[in-house]
Amino acid sequence: MSDTKRKILVLGIDGMDQRITKKLLDEGKLPHIKQFLSRGAARRDLDMLGAIPTITPPCWTTLATGAYPATHGITCYWRQSPESLDAVVYNMDSRFCTAEQIWNVTAEAGIKTLVWHWPGSSWPPSSDSPALHVVDGTQPGSVNMGVAQLDWEKIVFASRDTEKLSYLPRVEKPAGVGCIINDVESLVAGDSDDEMMELWWGDKAREDAAFHPSDPALAHATDLIDQINRFNQGFFHDGTPIKVPGQAFQYGVACYPEKHEEAPNMEADLDVLRRKQEMGAAYAVTQLFYDNAAYVRFVERARAAGITIPIIPGIKPLSKMSQLTVIPKTFHCDLPEPLYREAARCKTDDGVKTLGIEWGVAQCRELMRLGVPSLHFYTVGAVDSICEIARQVY
């Protein structure tokens, strides 16, 4: 065997798009990729050439470990932050990887190994070997990506019976969209009652002074309910039959103890809630409120109007001085005079936060004594307060 030292350079391609790859191959380009494919490196139809969507952390980690996402454990752009229920952190991080990185193997074998990372990654070395040298992108803490504050919901569907990949326009847009599904059975395990979703009117607080639907056909929650009902019956929004129907959704809807801002009166608002019930809603969650008497009156009027589904109270504790004006304006709910009087005396946000916890504990305890079906907490910006309320209440 020759004593000549050889250097090996390994380059990885992050998330190749199979359709673009096939197009370039058909044009006679990518000769080296063609050789790999001719040797069985991917399926002939290229469906498994890259992840769909082509999200960087899972693809990059597969290159770094030789393992598939279901094995190395990094399946999405984001991961729940261990510090806050309100936040997720960027997932390209060696601390989250459960598979052995290729360069650790060579370094532990005593081979001098030099690694260049993409500067946006957060991949601190996980080996203490003096043979390992890592350059760039190694700072911990989600470098260049920061912490993402999320307020969204997703519907993910996958089936082992899928015969051909289909592409959704939202999925094909750049940036962090979607996750790789690696265990379909765990997604559908359990009773049908677990397949729940909540349907809400548009969040105008983040956009215009009035709600403008992006799709005119979905101007109201009842329009979305109709779409979900047709989906449960086996049809897409455009009427196309679903080839492999999934498990039907149960869903909950919104309701307003102090009246929806666009309803002319409470009777008209209750008519809408009764219509949602008739269309199939399994439960309702209220807009946030601070006066339990308003909730009790609302439930009594709802029952008198023939509404029988569970009505779950929505709770959000005060946590900032600015909320004394922002919450009534944004959510059209009253602050009871005793709460407002005490909050107005507070000099700092910490004082309001402490008061919010005290009021929230008392509010929840009273609601539980009244026999409410459950409690729904609005956690955005109030995670610590809600954790303390839950600790004292439960």
Could you tell me if 347 and 239 lie in one domain? yes
Please tell me the predicted confidence (pLDDT) of residue 309: 95
Residue 154, pLDDT > 70, answer no
Residues 287 and 150 in one domain: no
Residue 28 lies in a domain: no
Q: What is the pLDDT of residue 147?
A: 41
CB 65 within 8 A of CB 72: yes
pLDDT in tens, 110-133: 888 888 766 555 566 778 888 888
What is the C-alpha separation between 48 and 57, in angstroms, rounded? 17
**Would residue 128 count as lying in a domain?**
yes
Is position 45 within any domain?
no
Query: Are residues 350 and 280 located together in one domain of the fold?
Result: yes
Tokens representing 377 are: 């907490």
Same domain membership, residue 159 and residue 199: no
The CATH number covering residue 348 comes to: 3.20.20.220
Q: pLDDT band at residue 84, thresholds of 50, 70 and 90?
A: low
pLDDT tens by residue, 11-52: 656 556 677 788 888 899 888 888 877 877 676 777 655 545
Q: Domain total for the chain?
A: 2
Please name the residue that has the structure tokens 């289909």. 166
233 contacts 189 by C-beta, under 8 angstroms: no
Q: Distance between alpha carbon 152 and the CA centroid of its chain, in Å?
A: 6
What was the pLDDT predicted at 302? 96
| Cβ atoms < 10 Å from Cβ of 293 | 11
pLDDT tens per residue across span 69-78: 778 888 777 7
Q: Is residue 327 part of a domain?
A: yes
Looking at the domain assignment, is residue 18 inside a domain?
Answer: no
Which of 139, 162, 189 is the last residue before a domain boundary? 189
* Per-residue model confidence as pLDDT tens digits over 276-292: 999 999 999 999 999 99
Q: Which of 189, 211, 241 is the last residue of a domain?
A: 189
Q: Report if residue 38 sits inside a domain.
A: no
Domain end among 160, 189, 218: 189
User: Residue 179's domain spans which residues?
Assistant: 51-189
Higher pLDDT, residue 282 or 3: 282
Mean pLDDT for 83-96 is 72
Which three-class secondary structure string do you get for the chain? Answer: CCCCCCCCCCCCCCCCCHHHHHHHHHCCCCHHHHHHHHCCCCCCCCCCCCCCCCCHHHHHHHHHHCCCHHHHCCCECEEECCCCCCEEEECCEHHHCCCCCHHHHHHHCCCCEEEECCCCCECCCCCCCCCEEEECCCCCCCCCCCEEECCCCCCCCCCCCCCCCCCCHHHHCCCCCCECCCCHHHHHCCCHHHCEEEECCCCHHHCCCCCCCCCHHHCCHHHHHHHHHHHHCCECCCCCECCCCCCCCEEEEEECCCCCCCCCCHHHHHHHHHHHHHHCCCEEEEEECCCHHHHHHHHHHHHHCCCCCCEEEEECCCCCCCHHHHHHHHHCCCCCHHHHHHHHHCCCHHHHHHHHHHHHHHHHHHHHHCCCCCCEECCCCCHHHHHHHHHHHC
* pLDDT greater than 70 at residue 150: no
Q: What's the rounded mean pLDDT across residues 315-328?
A: 91
Query: Looking at residue 101, what is its pLDDT?
Result: 86
Is 124 a member of any domain?
yes
Mean pLDDT lowest for which of 186-195, 261-270, 375-384? 186-195
Whether 98 has a pLDDT exceeding 80, the answer reads yes
Beta bridge partners of 288: 314
Please give the span between the terminal C-alpha atoms of the chain, in angstroms, as a whole number. Answer: 71
Phi, psi of 312 (to 5 degrees): -95, 125
Residues 230 and 162 in one domain: no
Specify whether 222 is located in the same domain as 370.
Answer: yes
Say which range, 7-16, 124-133, 179-188, 363-372, has the weakest mean pLDDT: 179-188
What is the per-residue pLDDT for 16? 66
Predicted pLDDT at 298: 96
> Is residue 10 predicted with pLDDT exceeding 60?
yes
Are residues 216 and 365 part of one domain? yes
190 has a pLDDT exceeding 50: no
Co-location of 315 and 178 in the same domain: no
Please report the pLDDT score of residue 191 as a whole number.
39
B/e letters for 250-269, b = 16+ CB within 10 Å, e = fewer, are bbbbbbbbbbbeeeeebeeb
CB atoms within 10 A of CB 67: 18
Specify whether 379 is located in the same domain as 253.
yes
Is 164's pLDDT higher than 90? no
Average pLDDT of the residues of the chain: 77
pLDDT at 377: 93
Return the closest-CA partner of residue 184 out of 160, 201, 206.
160
Question: Angle 354-330-260 (CA atoms, 0-180°, nearest 5)?
Answer: 115
Classify residue 224 as exposed, middle or buried by CB count within 10 Å of its CB (0-12, 13-18, 19+). buried
- Phi and psi dihedrals of 196, rounded to 5? -115, 155
Q: What is the reported pLDDT for 153?
A: 41
- Pair (306, 195) in one structural domain: yes
Does residue 214 belong to any structural domain of this protein?
yes
Q: How confident is the model at residue 351 (pLDDT cuts 50, 70, 90)?
A: very high
Question: Per-residue pLDDT tens for 205-247?
Answer: 444 556 666 677 777 888 888 888 888 888 887 788 888 777 7
Whether 136 and 256 share a structural domain: no
What is the predicted pLDDT for the residue at 183?
40
The residue with greater pLDDT, 40 or 182, is 40
Please confirm whether the linkage preceding 213 is cis (ω < 30° from 0). no
Q: Do both 177 and 226 map to the same domain?
A: no
